[in-house]
Structure 1
């Protein structure tokens, strides 16, 4: 494979795993089209082999412009890495419906939109689709209903797409990160606190300590997680391996949790999750 003659696309490349994956793929010789939303992010990531493109995956005009950019390039498209996403955490009862819809718009429908637009190019080049999911696509923690819902759905769409296009020469790979030291957790905690502030007093009594415990667990898991650069090397492996697996986990926590979902009953997994979460409840709070 002559990587210098091939394109890759990474969505959500402004910061974190997306930015690290764009740099790792560029280091390996690809010309990377890096989807960003702000001019400052474009300036930060631009290099000889990284070409920032304005891309909000929920905006059809920008998705169409990306497809046109690829169509105008004589180099084949080797891979589309669907990485963009947001983290929204709140109890099912309290999360406003517009937030449910927006989370699915970004974390699921946006990826489908980009994939539909780029599949003709990928089919021509026998390229591949790499969907960045999460361990949240395997197990849904409390307050993760919306986020995990999008990731479970992305896993299902990936399976369906793989079975549709593998016979046509296009592999579809899912990458499932656990804790990764990026800004996503910080933004997720801020969003969780903002949503918690909108709860009624009765909802606060029911779920306030749970939200705090989950924020603490999220911060702890991120702090002990892999660096974005280490995680990006797994994404690059999914992009470059000649015969890729259908799924790759990132981090020991992701590998462990994925294994537990296969071995434990729902009730037993509930107890494991509750025990792990109990350590993060505020002192004196019932867990």
Structure 2
């Protein structure tokens, strides 16, 4: 029975992936931060593990229990929304710790098990790493970093028979927008220079749920790619996952920026 480990399985993409891989015959190690989420995963028949992906000691304990690992899916992450200067360096550090640094930390900890199995690393990026939008600068930058790290890891792990696939989802039905809105609301206040256009910030936080693809459909698409003899280097799944990067590449930069300014209320003087 092949073994898969998925981070961030409390809901959304992570939970859907855990369900789909389990039904496909994988032994699924499903991780989550909160005790109640771990209990729910355990009750559902997964090898549930409480894990903060930034906790190096917890990662060492996890690695000690895994002899072999066929598939590692680095899914844990969140979206920090709001003006870059309102959030500042501290907000960016939090964003990068979970979305970027943890990708390296988790993969490094589980590399021995992946090497023994000649396994596959799947990094969940985003089309936001290709088409950068306002009020999501830290998130977009983190996903652009995931793209660069995935390319580097693919080259560096090749001698060991370990493959790397990056996935860039489009709009996927999940709690992402709810969590992103919560993050944004922590920054939105009358002290902000962007207070007069706060609805643009809220609109960006909710944008990921515009006509989303279901998480289950996304998970089935990813499973199909994982099971290929040569998994693709880059996989785009979900509504907008192909159109948005195409827009970024083909549209003149000035025209694209004008459209984004209008969409998010930045075509005004403050």
| TM-score class, shorter | over 0.9
- The 5 Å alignment of 1:274-285 reads 274-277=261-264
Going from structure 1 to structure 2, the CA distance change for 1:164 and 1:94 (only over 3 Å counts) comes to: same
- The 5 Å alignment of 1:125-144 reads 125-144=117-136
- Aligned counterpart, 2:14: 18
CA contact (8 A) 1:130 1:238 kept: no
- Aligned counterpart, 1:97: 89
- Aligned counterpart, 2:30: 34
Going from structure 1 to structure 2, the CA distance change for 1:220 and 1:149 (only over 3 Å counts) comes to: closer
Separation (CA, whole Å) in 1 of partners of 2:219 and 2:197: 32
Q: CA RMSD in A?
A: 2.0
| Worse-matched range after superposition: 105-114 or 208-217 | 208-217
Going from structure 1 to structure 2, the CA distance change for 1:139 and 1:211 (only over 3 Å counts) comes to: farther
Aligned-pair CA distance for 1:177: 1.0
- Aligned counterpart, 1:46: 42
Deviations 1:199-236 (A, max 9, x none): 62xx33xx235442242244254041011111112332
Runs of 4+ in 1 over 6 A off after TM superposition: none
- Aligned counterpart, 1:66: 62
Using the size of structure 2 for normalisation, the TM-score is 0.92
1:246 to 233, 241, 260: 233
**How many residues get paired?**
269
Using the size of structure 1 for normalisation, the TM-score is 0.87
- The 5 Å alignment of 1:256-271 reads 256-271=243-258
SS state at 2:87 partner? coil
Separation (CA, whole Å) in 1 of partners of 2:203 and 2:60: 40
1:171 to 151, 159, 163: 163
- Aligned counterpart, 1:180: 172
Aligned-pair CA distance for 1:254: 1.5
Separation (CA, whole Å) in 2 of partners of 1:46 and 1:254: 32
- Aligned counterpart, 2:224: 237
- The 5 Å alignment of 1:223-234 reads 223-234=210-221
Unaligned 5+ residue runs, structure 2? none
Aligned-pair CA distance for 1:249: 1.1
Aligned-pair CA distance for 1:22: 0.6
